[in-house]
Chain A
Amino acid sequence: MESLAGILNFCFYSLIACCFACMIRAFRGKSIADRMVAIDIMGTLAVGITALLAVIYKRSFLIDVALAWIFLSFIGTLALAKYLAHKTLDE
């Protein structure tokens, strides 16, 4: 069980490093679409991070947070894409 927790912790920290990579892209991105792509991918990464936290700390409610995060990230991405295509949020 000790090696299992070590491997899970390693995966968790590598996903945190991926989030930092996405933030670098969000800061440096040339166009506005680059930043939106980085934020979208960071939302999908956060689902994996939250699910891993649920296993590491044995808290079952964290997987509910992950399930909600999927839909919040999806709706946020759709709103940003619609703003990008139409430049208004009216329709």
Chain B
Amino acid sequence: MALNYYFGIIFIVIGAAFDVFGCLGLLRFPDVYNRLQAGTKCVTFGTCGILFGIFLLNGFSGLGVKALIGIPFVLLTSPVGAHALARGAHIFGVPLWKKSVVDQYKEDRGDKPRL
């Protein structure tokens, strides 16, 4: 068995572990914004790790190259969606956690009407 199999398995296991910890944070964190931060970053990196491991397992075949193409798509779309969700939740008026210390987006927006 060649070396790329071992590295592919290692990348896939690391990606699955990141997904598990991201979903654990999604369950355990106290706030919408904390959950968004935990879930989105961990799950994005975990999915990229799984796709890169699949590329290492299959090499430059059809499946491997498509998995490699999927990595920048995930990296581009998932943070943009998370940012839009955070902004929408803040404008909607979802309260922060009671132990949060700073809310700079609210200070920036001030008393301006809703966009």
A residues with a Cβ closer than 8 A to B are 1, 4, 7-8, 11, 14-15, 17-18, 21-22, 24-25, 31-34, 36-38, 40-41, 44-45, 47-48, 51-52, 54-55, 60, 63-64, 66-67, 70-71, 73-74, 77-78, 80-87
Contact = CB atoms under 8 A, between A and B. Distances in A.
Given A36-B85, A81-B87, A18 B63 contact: no
Give the size range of B's interface with the partner: 35 or more
A70 B51 CA distance: 12
The secondary structure that dominates the B interface is helix
A47 B70 contact: yes
B59 to A, nearest CB: 12
Given A37-B39, A77-B81, 5 more contacts: A44-B40, A48-B46, A80-B85, A81-B81, A84-B89
